[in-house]
Structure 1
């Protein structure tokens, strides 16, 4: 009798487990939400960098600011001068020799690639952001990540319709094609997954694997501050093992004045200090990774979280991902006036393709440096070369 009762009890337990399993599968899962609304990181630095990053002309301009993170290796900036009738140029010389007499367009350190420039602009020009908004770009004209058939940022910026780009949510990545970003569903394992952690250990040379593995902790520190560091509270701050944050490559975007002012100046100071605190003899172990490739790439995931407006309350991850990855067709039409393209969800014919090994031929800039674009008639250009040289033809 006892044996039968025990058997019946085990069968009942097994049945309950099966029922619970199927109910869990059929029940709609609750949205994953995160407390990514306010930057709460607190620096341990005894002093903050002096303001030397002001951009002349912002107080009276009706044009959007063009914020350029330029280093000597990017080559000359003559190509940017041709855009001055459309933009108020703010060209930061990131690796310029230290000169205390220079009080404009300087950054406190050459850290985190373009992010140090972007943050310095936001901090030192917070009260002078143009009503027309701001565009943030890298300093080289030709790069594999520029979303243009010729990888030419002069063409991209000449064609960019800033008001249209900002009309929907006040922010837009300049890239429309989904290659190289995390928009495609098969981009790789979730950033906080065990697989990604293992990849970052086995492939320490891979900036992508290592930065993806570092990102969940970095965001928890930035948005959680003392609540995370002292009390160990990670719920709503740290991506789980199966959570994927999607975004476009490659930290070039346009943003409205209103979206910038969604966050206080002190928040941008905190992000920059998180970046700066990760370097030097007094390095803070909770701050940015020492490797610039990693720190800069972690912050490249942050911009759309800061600038895409969310409902009051926690950030819905699924909704954020949808907003961060509009279809290529909608993007090309909205940003560049190319509205009759043949497209699938993430790419359009003839607009962009990843070059071999993500590198342009050595003579690419020389071949196309004389291409001129009309900023008053976006997309119109006098072009002397072919669309693709032989190295890029099938």
Structure 2
């Protein structure tokens, strides 16, 4: 009796292994993607492959500008920064109609795009993209974090289940064309109505202290020219039009990045300075706090 039970269990295990093997072979045959313990692989070429070749295209030698553009891609791009271990396969798998520019912040041998220095969180990648692609900017650009969905990793993404794909797909490009800038988060807190108050004396609020030096450096003037309140919904995820981006010169973006390269501030503080300056850089008032219902309706069509 004991032997028959062991034989039955062994046969069951063998059957399961055969089924798993057949399933794997089917996915490979049909071009499906397979996730392995040590990474993400596909039988299709993509920027995930550490190579200079994507779908027969080559990155020009010595060129810093490069945007992956698949056969379905329209004149719009998703730009994001990733660190080692962050899975951004959702971009390639679900946003084929978007061009893609992914910065490998701490992997000099991975991917196609790298910042001059891994500093200031996502701000370094965003500014580097603007500088290196200034002459070839897409009509519409969305700058987002690498997290796909869920809480707490993607709590800042303002869509059902905090899903980044839903957020990007629902963005109304007609709104972006008209206004030039859209914060990808409509929920006002944190950020609105008065996140940065430069006259506030609170040593814990390091970004406010940093803003007193950063604003005059970037936009000219002196302390008295800094708005008393600077605000928008957090968290450095936004969209811009090419028309709006070109209202700043390439030298302007280089100037902003130089501040980031030179500052002795820690990454969190320097990154937060830009978190509450993106809307100013792209032509909005110092306080950019659109009412929640209006934002969701006009920017994302959720009326």
Do the two structures share a fold, i.e. TM-score over 0.5? yes
**Matching of residues 326-365 of structure 1 within 5 Å:** 326-339=290-303
Query: How far has the Cα of 1:80 moved from its partner?
Result: 1.1
Match of 2:190 among 163, 173, 180: 180
Task: Select which of 106, 109, 117 maps to 2:117.
Answer: 109
Name the SS for the 1:168 alignment partner. Answer: helix
- Please give the TM-score of this superposition, normalised by the length of structure 2: 0.71
Q: Tell me the distance in 2 between the aligned counterparts of 1:57 and 1:85.
A: 8
Q: What is residue 360 of structure 1 aligned with on the other side?
A: none
8 Å CA contact 1:54–1:103 kept in 2: the answer is no
Deviations 1:230-277 (A, max 9, x none): xxx5442x34xxx21121211111100011000111111111111111
- Which of 119, 123, 136 lines up with 2:143 in the alignment? 136
CA distance in 1, matches of 2:190, 2:160: 15
Secondary structure of the structure 1 residue equivalent to 2:100: strand
Quick one: higher RCO (CA 8 Å, sep 6+), 1 or 2?
1
Shift of 1:158: 2.5
The RMSD of aligned alpha carbons is 2.4
> What does residue 74 of structure 2 align with?
62
| 2:242 paired with 1:263 | no
1:215 — aligned with what?
A: 211
Q: Is 1:151 the equivalent of 2:162?
A: yes
Count of residues paired in the alignment: 237
Paired residues of 2:119 and 2:267 also in contact (CA < 8 A): yes
Question: What secondary structure is seen at the aligned counterpart in 1 of 2:94?
Answer: coil
Report the CA distance shift for 1:294/1:157 in structure 2 as closer, same or farther (over 3 A). same
CA distance in 1, matches of 2:184, 2:145: 12
Distance 1:191 1:320 in 2: 11
Question: Which residue does the alignment assign to 2:230?
Answer: 245
For the residue of structure 1 that corresponds to 2:161, the secondary structure is coil
Contiguous gaps of at least 5 residues in structure 2: 1-61
Are 2:235 and 1:191 aligned?
no
How far 1:84 moved relative to its partner? 2.8
For the residues of structure 2 that align with 1:180 and 1:331, how far apart are their CA atoms? 15
TM (norm. structure 1) is 0.56
Q: Secondary structure at the match of 1:141?
A: coil
Superposition deviation, residue 51 in structure 1? 5.8
1:78 to 74, 82, 89: 89
Q: Per-residue CA shift, 1:44-80, capped at 9, x if unaligned?
A: xxxxxx863532449x96331100111124x311211
Asked whether the equivalents of residues 73 and 97 of structure 2 are also in contact (C-alpha less than 8 Å), the reply is no
Deviations 1:199-233 (A, max 9, x none): 21xx3xxxxx1112221221012222xxx6xxxx5
Q: Secondary structure at the match of 2:81?
A: strand
Per the alignment, in what secondary structure is the counterpart of residue 76 of structure 1? coil
Q: 2:258 aligns with which of 269, 273, 283?
A: 273
Report if aligned partners of 1:54, 1:121 keep a CA contact under 8 Å in 2: no
Could you tell me which residue of structure 1 aligns to residue 280 of structure 2?
305
Any conservation in 2 of the 1:53–1:104 contact (CA below 8 Å)? no
Distance in structure 2 (CA, Å) of the matches to 1:290 and 1:335: 34
Counterparts of 2:256 and 2:111 in 1: how far apart (Å)?
22
| Alpha-carbon contact 1:146-1:175 (below 8 Å) kept | yes
Q: Distance in 2 between matches of 1:106 and 1:160?
A: 27
Alpha-carbon spacing, 1:320–1:235, altered in 2? closer, same or farther (3 Å): closer
More strand per residue: 2
Cα distance in 2 for partners of 1:219, 1:305 equals: 10
Q: Which runs of structure 2 are paired with 1:224-235 in the superposition (5 Å)?
A: 224=220, 233-235=222-224
Question: Equivalent of 1:290, from 260, 265, 275?
Answer: 265
